[in-house]
Every structure is written in C-alpha cells, then in structure tokens.
Chains A and B, each alone.
Chain A
C-alpha cells in the first residue's frame, strides 16, 4: 500500500479529480440541502452564509490542490526512473487542472444568490 502514497504512482493521475469530484458533490449536495432546510431570504442576494461556505471551501480545496501540484512536480524532479518522472509530471498537470476547475466552478458563488 505504501507505494500508492508516492506521488509518482499513477493513482495520482486521478487524485486531483477525485478531490475535485468530492468537493463538487459536497457543494452541490450541500447547496440543495441548505436551500431546502434553511433558504435565506431572496432579498439578501449573494450575502448569505451559503455563498460564504461555498467560497471558503473553494479556496481551501484549491489551496490543497495547489500544494499537491507542487509536491508532484517536486517528486517528479527527484524521481530516478523515467516512468516515475512521467507519472509525476502528468499527475501534476492534472492537479493543476483541478485547481483551475475548482476556482472556475466555485466562482459563480460571487455573483449568484444561492436558492433562486
């Protein structure tokens, strides 16, 4: 199992998107639940706890993914085997994409009210 944790293992090809996917499900599901349990008044527009929660989770997830991107690049630089360099680098690319994807998907929380 230990080699799965190494950042040059191909499992990290899917790591970024797995984190992104879990975050995505969490904000979508959380939004639905929050809107059915405690919908804020429409007059509050985007100034709601829901928007803040989406925003904070977006930034936190993006930060985690940025760190993983950097860690993968570093691991790839250090790796001795060509295969490990390859997977480290491609994984880093995928983590980077996940960073962008997180920010891009979370961004509408800035200008849209949550439950309308």
Chain B
C-alpha cells in the first residue's frame, strides 16, 4: 500500500514535474527580450483600442512615427520586439502562428519578442475579452523580407504631399477628421464639434490596407463607402457613431477619396 501511494502519488508526479521544468526552462528563457549579441531587434509598438489596433513604427530622433492601424507589417527571419499597451481596457496581443500572447494593460508597457521564420501572412487577434466587439478585433499581419520591409517603411516615412481641398476632403474634415488623422490633411478643414474624445484609427494609408474595421470586411472597391453606411450592422457596438445624418452620396464620396490614400 505504501509502495502504491509513494510510487504513484509522490514519485510519479515529482518525476513528471521535474522533467517538465527541465523542458520548460530553456523554452521560457528563449522568449525573453534579452539583449542580442549583434544588433538591437526591430521595435514595433502596438496599442490596443476598443476594438482596433494602432501600430506605430518609432521614428529616429526628430522623425515622426509611422502610424497605421489593423495591419502589422514586420520583418521576417529576425526577432522583433513588440512593445504593447492599451488606450482603454485590457486587450491581449496575439499572433497564434508566431507564438505566445501578451496582455495590453492601460498605463503599462510590456515587451514580447516574436519571430517569423519566413515571409508570409498571418492572422492576429485580441485574446483578452475587451467588450462588445472583442470578436471583431482582428489584426492582419504580414512578414516581409528585410528589404521589402524597409521599402514599405520608407514609403510611409517620406513626407506627404499636401492634400487637395476637394469636396470629399471637405466632407471628411467636417464629419471624420475630429477622430481620424490623415497625414498631410490641412488643419483648416478639420471641424471638431464632437463631445466625445474617442480616437479612431489613423487613415493615412487606408487605401493600401487589406481589411476594414479590424478584419470585418476585405478591402475592395466601394468597401469603405459600404462600411461607412452600415458599420453598426457589420460590427455592432463599435465606437464610430452611426452616419444616418449624412447623405449617402457624401459617404460614397468620402469612401472613394479614402481609397486613394496610399503612399
């Protein structure tokens, strides 16, 4: 009897957990953002919002950050440090194919190191329940060869030509610009009469993004206008107010104009 309890109840679990610890120790160590021997790893900031992703590529000194949303482009074949935080509630940054997840806590930054072995497209998603549209908080991740990645980033770092003050731009300034930034958008067109201070995704390169509404719609011609009209049905509860008070043609104009925004 003692043999049973001692062997099965004590020895068996002790051996198993010691074996597990031996296996887990190096794995866990490998995930730490320790300093690399040669260069510093690429650093990308990801900020969670209800219910979309802000992605920032920090600029060198004096240089502005490159900002995009709901699309993460990263170099392949090298470790990347993701510095994550949140603007509102706790979210979690997770690209299942690349490794573990990390919670995004308001007021705190934390760093997780991931590596894509080869170029490719991956899905990312918010893993910590964050409210009404937790389900609809998807991230489109692309890993590019280092050269392609640099080119992609340089395109966005290049100074923007100033935007023409057409009808669509004026409508955008009146209805959207209080929450949504577009690089190079003329300040005088921005009408800020909103009571809420919600930040919406940066739209500077929206025309080049593969999805809309944090993964709710694929980007194709007319998709933005469709989204602008029906976004509360497509993604119920999202933070963008309904646009019932705006003419359909105006929305279509804004949509068509936004589709042209690409570096």
Contact = CB atoms under 8 A, between A and B. Distances in A.
Contacts of B32: 112-113, 116
A112 B33 contact: no
Interface string A97-109: 0001000100110
Nearest to B26: A111
A42 interface: yes
B2 to A, nearest CB: 12
B158 interface: no
Per DSSP, chain B at the interface is: helix
B122 to A, nearest CB: 25
Contact of A45 (B14, B33, B34): B34
Interface residues of B, number: 10
Contacts of A43: 35
Query: Which size bracket describes the interface of A in this complex?
Result: 10 to 19
Contacts, number: 21
Contact of B34 (A100, A104, A107, A113): A113
B28 interface: yes
A111 B32 CA distance: 12
Nearest to B111: A116
A111 B21 CA distance: 11
A5 B227 CA distance: 74
Interface of B: 14, 17, 21, 25, 28-29, 32-35
Interface of A: 42-43, 45, 100, 104, 107-108, 111-113, 116
